[in-house]
Amino acid sequence: MKDYVRLTGVAASEGIAIGPAFAYVPGDLKPERENISEDVVGEELESFRNAVKAVVRKLSETADGLRESGGEGEAGIFDAHVEMAEDPELHSGVEERVRDLQSPEAAVISVGEEFAEMFAATEDEYLSARAEDVRDVAYQIAAEIMGGEDAGIEMLDKPSVVLARNLAPSDTVNIPKGMALGFVIAEGSRTSHVSIMARSMGLPAVVGVGRALEEALAAEVVALDGAEGYAVVDPDPATISSFEEKQKNIAAEAALLKEYKHGQVRTREGRRIEVVANIGSAQEAEGALERGAEGVGLFRTEFLFMERPELPTEEEQYEAYRKVVKSFGEKPVIIRTLDVGGDKDLPGVDQPEEENPFLGWRGIRMSLDTPELFKPQLRAILRAATHGNLKIMFPMVVDADELRAAKKVLEECRRELENEGSRFNEVEIGVMVETPAAAICAADIAPEVSFFSIGTNDLIQYTLAADRGNERLRRLQSADHPAVLSLIGRTCEAAREAGIWVGVCGEAAGEPAMVPKLIELGVTELSMSAPAIPRVKKIISGL
């Protein structure tokens, strides 16, 4: 078999697919006109506004349809697209250019591209992946202005493996039901929306295969392995047979894992280990519960702040937290306070230009310096705690002094709510152990908190001085390194001495090879992406 027939990328969604290839290669959207005359400015502004209304209506109808059919996670993606289409900054940017006599279709494409480049420039993988969402929304508005039709993916009429340079959510949702067997995509990451949609649809996907996809667009048959992250173009009979064998094994394992999905798990010796989920929005709560999450070990709150022109109000945050807490009932939900830095712009916050934002003004450092950002979030968390079992943890803590400063602000918020007569509940407090300093100082910090949550992604990066986004340093991006294991062990030892529990909420929590090592070191809670939960429960029960 020649090397070029194997496309290697990112394992975005588990599963095996073998079937006919369907190449989806729409052309770039070009504006029909670049300029307009001064006497039609009012008419063209109205054309832009009507196009936005039409796109918002279509997106909202799509979201409602998905929600009715049980696709809450996918519906949330289209809700976010509605917000993008209605973004006042997008509107003002387009309207300003139209008044300067640029055509509305050219204006919305160029403004959308500027917004997309801002997202793409961030070092956060999830936010960087949102660049394609902004482009998608801008293209839909431009196409509506020009009276354009869909690009053709809705014409897929037999079950096929879809090959594309990229797939926007609006493309994916237009695929006729049952016609996609899986996806092989040139661009993207595990957090791009084609990956999220594939996981929600239960379809295997390999993304980020790069330019090699071009050589596969004329393929007749494609076999892909979404767990290993590769695809084979026009495979020979022996290769097809091996993929079919994998398919049978996966189906057998899925049937076996069903019995581990719900309920608590213990090791054979009787040690109780909680298996919980990492989520980034209220929309992800339902999917986590369906896969057997015993709670939320990490609720990332950044996404409430990033995809919008202004900071969320206390009330907006309260509503988002309340929804998640109510979804989980008595099960614990741990909210991490805002963890952004110089790599992500926040509206209304004067952020410095930093050469290395991952070593800069981020996490608890930023929160302590900007009470106008920190206090509304803490107040919203305290209020949401009346609806369930809510806990709070602070990110990027390096010593007990930072923790005490954060607790002092939390106490101020408690007093304010009490004086106002607002309902709130007490919450347990924990810290993220994601810096070597926090692990080394764990014995000093432990008496001041109820729990530790080890963020292995950053702990690996900082301990091994290896940027987690640098592909060349992939061999150093493992929690299995002796230095990282030593810091995890030290953290667990300090927690035992203080009588508190320790969780892990980085990628290592869902890695089958790491689960036994983490439990042996003393970890009692593992928090991961929801699809990994049943397998991890099975591993624990056999330890």
What is the full per-residue pLDDT of the chain (543 aa) written as tens digits? 444 478 999 888 889 999 999 888 776 667 878 888 888 889 888 989 988 898 888 888 877 777 666 566 667 777 778 888 888 888 988 899 989 998 988 888 888 888 888 777 766 666 666 777 888 888 788 888 887 655 567 778 789 999 988 887 778 877 888 899 999 998 888 767 788 778 767 789 999 998 888 888 888 999 999 989 999 999 999 999 999 999 888 888 777 777 777 778 888 888 999 999 988 877 778 888 888 899 999 998 887 776 566 788 999 999 999 999 999 999 999 999 998 765 556 766 777 776 776 787 888 998 999 999 999 999 999 999 999 999 999 999 999 999 999 999 999 999 999 999 999 999 999 999 999 999 999 999 999 999 999 999 889 989 998 876 666 776 777 888 999 999 999 999 999 999 999 999 987 898 889 999 999 999 999 998 887 888 899 899 888
Class of domain 3-27+151-237: alpha beta
> Domain 275-541 sits in which CATH superfamily?
Phosphoenolpyruvate-binding domains (3.20.20.60)
* Residue 1, pLDDT score: 40
505: annotated active-site residue = yes
Give the DSSP H or E segment for 274: strand 272-279
Q: For residues 164 and 208, what is the distance between their CA atoms, to the nearest angstrom?
A: 11
pTM metric for this prediction = 0.68
- With the C-alpha atoms ordered 15, 16, 19, 23, is the resulting torsion angle positive or negative? positive
81: annotated active-site residue = no
Give the DSSP H or E segment for 69: none
* CA dist 219 → 18, 157, 231, 391, 450 (Å): 12, 17, 12, 52, 56
Question: Could you give the maximum distance between any two Cα atoms of the chain, in Å?
Answer: 81
* Residue 349, pLDDT score: 74
Please identify which residue in the block is written with the tokens 């809670």: 525
Half-sphere exposure (Cβ direction) of 518: Cα atoms closer than 13 Å = 32
* Residue 3, pLDDT score: 46
Catalytic residue among 91, 193, 387, 413: 193
Q: For residues 232 and 220, what is the distance between their CA atoms, to the nearest angstrom?
A: 11
Residue 218: DSSP 8-state: T
Sheet-wide strand order for 205-207: 6-8, 230-233, 221-225, 16-24, 160-164, 180-185, 205-207, 10-13
Please identify which residue in the block is written with the tokens 């709560």: 285
Give the closest residue to 351 by CA, choosing from 359, 302, 360, 378.
Answer: 360
**Residue 214 neighbours by CB distance under 10 Å:** 13
Dig out the tokens for 211 from the structure. 């330019």
Residue 469: exposure state from Cβ atoms within 10 A (0-12, 13-18, ≥19): middle
Cβ(383)–Cβ(377) under 8 Å? no
Show me where the domains of the chain are located.
3-27+151-237, 38-145, 275-541
Total number of residues shown for the chain: 543
Buried (b) or exposed (e) across 142-155, using 16+ Cβ within 10 A? bbbbbeeeebebee
Q: Domain 38-145 belongs to what architecture?
A: Orthogonal Bundle (1.10)
Residue 159 identity: P
Q: Which residues contact 342 (CB under 8 A, 6 or more apart)?
A: 351, 352, 353, 354, 357, 360, 361, 362
**Residue 266 neighbours by CB distance under 10 Å:** 12
